[in-house]
Amino acid sequence: MWREQIEKLTDECRFNLPASQDELISIEQSLDIVLPSDLKGFLMETNGVVDEYGFSLIWSTERIKHDNLKFRTHPDFREIYMPFDHLLFFADAGNGDQFAYPILNGVVRQTNIYAWDHEDDSRRWKAPSLEKFLEWLLTGKLKV
């Protein structure tokens, strides 16, 4: 499903092998969250996808886990940014800004996607779902 949707918009992407159940469980346990069903489904189909230039459109499970842990525990970040434990980062804009789902009590309760701005620490709505996020990203409609 996800692969076909992306291939309708571009033929310049490389898809990774599917994520294992253990990799998905590792993210959930490490971050103490429940992954949203659309992201989980995406990762079960392809463990990340990169464009023709090697830029990750959606991160791999390894990067999702690593980057979210880094943002939540980096001592310098605690001094200059609001907490990150209410965001689940899964992609970046290539300029320092990150894309994320909002988290409430360990659960992603809505499908909205937000961009975190690394310069002013703001969080701005960008898409109503992962599907629209990918569509708008690949068609140039999504602006950061």
pLDDT tens-digit series, residues 75-88: 999 889 999 999 99
Note whether residue 143 is domain-resident. Answer: no
pLDDT tens-digit series, residues 101-111: 999 888 899 99
Note whether residue 68 is domain-resident. Answer: yes
- pLDDT at residue 144 tops 80: no
Note whether residue 10 is domain-resident. Answer: yes
Whole-structure pTM value = 0.94
Residue range(s) defining the domain that contains residue 107: 2-138
Note whether residue 144 is domain-resident. Answer: no
| Contacts of range 53-61, beta carbons closer than 8 Å, 24 or more positions apart | 55/94, 56/91, 56/92, 57/6, 57/13, 57/91, 57/134, 57/137, 57/138, 58/90, 58/91, 58/134, 59/89, 59/90, 59/91, 59/92, 60/16, 60/19, 61/19, 61/23, 61/24, 61/26, 61/27
How many domains in the chain? 1
Confidence grade of residue 64 (pLDDT, cut at 50, 70, 90): very high
How distant, in Å, are the alpha carbons of 18, 37, 53, 68, 104 from that of 101? 21, 12, 25, 12, 10
